[in-house]
Amino acid sequence: MTNYNSMKKIILIMFFSFFIISNFNFVSFGQTSGQVPGASSGLNSDADLWRYIREGNKGNTQLGNELSAVMIQSEGDNWRSVRNGPLSRYGAYGIFGIIILLAWYYSYKGRIKISKGWSGETITRFKAIERFSHWLMAGSFIILALTGLNLLYGKFILLPILGPENFSTITIAGKYAHNFLSFAFMLGLGMSFVCWVSHNIPSKLDIEWLRQGGGLFDDSHPPARKFNAGQKIIFWAVMLGGFSISLSGWALMFPFETNMMSKTFGLLNMVGFNLSTDITTLQEQQLQQVWHAIVGLVLIVMIIAHIYIGSLGMQGAFDAMNSGEVDRNWAKEHHGLWVEEEDQKTKNADKKGNINQPAE
Ligand code: HEM
């Protein structure tokens, strides 16, 4: 009987020992890969739990900030791979592509000359306020473009040349320049819009200008008023792109305060898109950054072509934005209808002046 009781005790002790050992948390002594920390999930990886976390679901936090309740934000990986992958790659293709295209065009056509040569007589093309607006917008844009390109490509191009310390100094200074000059750009953009919008309304004449390729591949001069169709395209690209890049730049400068992306997606859904408007404030920032860079790169590519044609590419063009006075022959060849309108205005003003002159 005594033997039977002690046997019962031994079996019970063995059973409880086995129970305790099998539930003991060895992980806290030495976690190996694939195992989950903490006692609740046992020794094996809890796929559902990690999937839930990997999908960016929120847990609880006492930090009072919804972003810190998300343990893994997987969209961050997507954002980084888009930024460092296709965005940077296609941006570089675009910039090198336009430079190669312009170099080819220059070797094929040379500088576009004034066919009839300099007339020696000038006509006022842009008033001081127009030139001020242009250079405020253009000067700030060029610095914004260079400092922005440094943020995207600097670590691949400048860092190996300058070394970490110089590169860091330049990049920090560039970041401040980028932030503050954005306001100058917005002002210049708004002023240029007011100065030129009335001359940039599309008209039937533009179709003809485009049909003739703007005379870029032959020696023709399709008729144009103050701005031809090519310039109107540049104008609207700069105005709409400039406005959009200003909004996304604003969102990046004052982070987590706007929800323009989800609002834009909502509007796009009204015209047939199917985009999720349920995006977190962090995703909002990532999307704003990608959009900011895309619009910036597209504008940079267009502006390289604009700078070429406004300086090296065409004789007599730069004067328009320098002194504001252009050669009459240049004006007649490229903006013949505008010259006629200006001459008519002068005639009308002269007539008025004569009428108001007291009789002698
Ligand atoms: C060194 C740089 C630049 C040069 C030499 C330059 C030159 C010129 C010239 C000569 C014109 C007048 C063309 C005419 O008389 O018909 C012009 C117009 C204009 N520029 Fe620039 N520009 C430069 C940079 C920029 C930049 C960076 C922007 C915008 C961000 C810009 C936007 C415009 C716009 C919107 C117009 C009016 C439409 C047009 O002519 O295409 N420019 N520029």
Q: What is the mean pLDDT of the chain?
A: 90
Q: In angstroms, what CA-CA distances link 151 with 261, 289, 298?
A: 22, 12, 16
- Write down all domains in the chain, each with its CATH number in brackets: 75-126+200-350 (1.20.950.20)
- The residue whose C-alpha atom lies closest to atom 23 belonging to ligand 1 is 307
> Among 142, 321, 333, 342, which residue has the most ligand 1 atoms within 8 Å of its CB, making it the best to mutate?
321
Question: Percentage of residues in the chain with pLDDT exceeding 90?
Answer: 74
pLDDT in tens, 19-34: 554 444 434 444 455 5
Pick left, alpha or beta for residue 256 (phi over 0 → left; psi -120 to 50 → alpha; otherwise beta): left
Confirm whether pTM is higher than 0.95.
Answer: no
Letter string b/e over residues 5-19, b meaning 16 or more CB atoms within 10 A of that residue's CB = eeeeeeeeeeeeeee
pLDDT in tens, 212-269: 999 999 989 999 999 999 999 999 999 999 999 999 999 999 999 999 999 999 999 9
Ligand 1 binding site (Cβ under 6 Å of any ligand atom) = 125, 134, 137-138, 141-142, 192, 227, 231, 234-235, 238, 303, 306-307, 310-311, 317-318, 320-321
pLDDT in tens, 332-358: 999 999 999 999 999 998 888 777 666
The number of the ligand 1 atom at minimal distance from the alpha carbon of 192 is 35
